[in-house]
Chains A and B, each alone.
Chain A
Amino acid sequence: MSYLRWVAALAAIVVALVVQVTLFPHVAWHGIVPNLCLLVVVAAALTVEAPFALVLGFTAGLTLDLAPPADHVAGRWALALTIAAFLAARVRQDQKPTALAVVGTVAAASFAASSLFALSGVLLQDPAMSVAGLLEVVLVAVAWDVLLTPFVLPPLMKLFARLSPQWAAS
């Protein structure tokens, strides 16, 4: 079961990444696209046990760091998404999360991940960007992620819950 869950989660990451770099640039706002990989990680963190979600966050980040159009310092998205997964797993309740809780978690995780990535860029001076520019990117990214939550999160959470019945929140 755990093996199958890994396969499903990695497939979701691959699909999310490819769609994120090929389809969404056509509808992007000033080049800012929804972070689908983050949505997959949050869905996992809200449904299955925390260690799985953390490792999945790291893997998703690493893929974002290495897959073709990326040219930033590798490890920055890995760090950001690991911590986003940790936060999402922390806020999870014992019962099935309400729609509002899911949207709130996505917004918080998206804000944390995008800002962590931006901050690591400022520290490393990877590309030197203005604070106003960074803030715009982070806020628009949060809006995008929240906008896509109703379409992406429910099916993913159902999938993860079905593949791990012992952890499925009832």
Chain B
Amino acid sequence: MGAFGGHEGRERRWTGLDRLESRNRPPRSLLLALVLASVTLITLDVSGGGSSPIEPARRAVGEAFGPAEAGVAAAVRPFTAVPTWFRSKGDLADQVRDLEASNAELKGRIDLAGFDRNRLEQYDGLTTAAEDLGSALVPARVVALGSRQSQSFTVTIDAGSEAGVGPDMTVVNNDGLVGRVLRVTRTTATVLLVIDPDSTVGGRVGSSMEIGFVTGSGSLDQEAGLDLRLVDDASVPARDDTVVTWGSTTGPYAPGVPIGTITEVYSSLREASQRAVVKPFVDFSALDVVGVMVPSGSRSDRAVIEADGSLR
């Protein structure tokens, strides 16, 4: 009986191995079908361009994932703040020294204020232009970041169409320009950062009022900066000059938003043009609270910061 049982066991084992054998070979027909499905999707999305048939699917998936991402980000936030608790006296002393140094530098700059007055007037003009637009800010937090494997620099923020946010709106934080809204769901929006290699912003050099185009460099590193190419080849941008958005009321970027300062200027003899590196004011590796510029008086599900600084 025992021997019989053992025999049966071996039988079963063999059939089991047969099965294993057959499942070890993945079906090529299925692989081919799925690969073709992927290629079809790619083709549809590439040929569709702005109004691609994939957009509704993106929106639907976004509606489902947006609240989940916002929820998890809110749950994670207290833990990401933990490292700041463990700051030693040495760290704090270092910070005091750094702040004293920058304070001294700022004092030095104030002494040179008269020299910069001319420049200041132009900045003032730009600022009033922004105020004339009468835009208000919808506050939002960054809840998800795209990975660099996906090669695009995009983030999700927790304000969507219910908060009055729509595509092509300008996103800023307290340092300067962050990016623009690509698409929205009810509760979230996807933002294209200005450091994305696909992002191009119309820029204006603060002192000379020359216009050009600022392109992303595809790096989170603040020193890697953005690329500025001026429209007028003859004009040379100056170092330490501020670049602001040139923009329009209808275009994706509102005018007069600071982008960064020029750190390097290269002149290319072959192309007979000037290329400058702009160091962005915003630290993209530590993005948290941002504001979306919406038309003044637009309806929103949260408090909106008006142009004059009041909260509505």
Contacts and interface: CB of A to CB of B under 8 A. Distances in A.
Interface of A: 14, 17-26, 28, 30-33, 35, 49-51, 53-55, 57-58, 61-79, 82-83, 86, 89-90, 92, 94, 114, 117-118, 120-121, 124, 126-129, 133, 137, 141, 167, 169-170
User: What DSSP secondary structure best describes chain A's contact surface?
Assistant: helix
Interface in B1-58: 16-17, 20-21, 23-27, 30-31, 34-35, 37-42, 44-46, 52, 54, 57-58
Interface string B202-241: 0000000000000000111100000000000000000000
A21 to B, nearest CB: 4
B26 A33 contact: no
A69 B156 contact: yes
B119 interface: no
Interface in B180-217: 182, 185, 188, 190, 192, 196-198
B46 A32 contact: no
B154 to A, nearest CB: 5
Nearest to A53: B26
26 contacts: A14-B65, A18-B144, A19-B72, A20-B147, A32-B149, A33-B148, A50-B30, A51-B26, A57-B34, A67-B62, A68-B188, A69-B146, A69-B156, A70-B154, A71-B190, A74-B41, A74-B44, A74-B52, A74-B58, A75-B42, A86-B31, A94-B17, A114-B149, A127-B151, A127-B198, A127-B218
B150 A129 contact: no
A61 to B, nearest CB: 7
Contacts of A117: 149-151
B289 interface: no
B61 A22 contact: no
A73 B73 CA distance: 26
B66 interface: yes
B268 interface: no
Given A68-B185, A118-B151, 16 more contacts: A26-B76, A26-B80, A30-B220, A31-B147, A49-B23, A50-B25, A58-B38, A67-B62, A69-B144, A71-B154, A73-B42, A75-B41, A75-B45, A79-B39, A82-B38, A126-B198
Please classify how large the interface on chain B is, using the bins under 10, 10 to 19, 20 to 34, 35 or more. 35 or more
A83 B39 CA distance: 12
* Most chain A beta carbons < 10 A, residue from B65, B147, B148, B188: B147
B151 A83 contact: no
Interface of B: 16-17, 20-21, 23-27, 30-31, 34-35, 37-42, 44-46, 52, 54, 57-58, 61-62, 65-66, 68-69, 72-73, 76, 80, 143-156, 182, 185, 188, 190, 192, 196-198, 218-221, 285
Contacts of A31: 145, 147-148, 153, 220, 285
Contact of A82 (B31, B58, B147): B31
A77 B34 CA distance: 12
A23 B216 CA distance: 25
A89 B30 CA distance: 13
A69 B156 CA distance: 5
Contacts of B220: 30-31
B140 to A, nearest CB: 13
Nearest to A80: B38
Contacts of A28: 145, 147-148
B155 A137 contact: no
B303 to A, nearest CB: 24
A17 B143 contact: no
B58 A21 contact: no
A94 B46 CA distance: 41
A25 B145 contact: yes
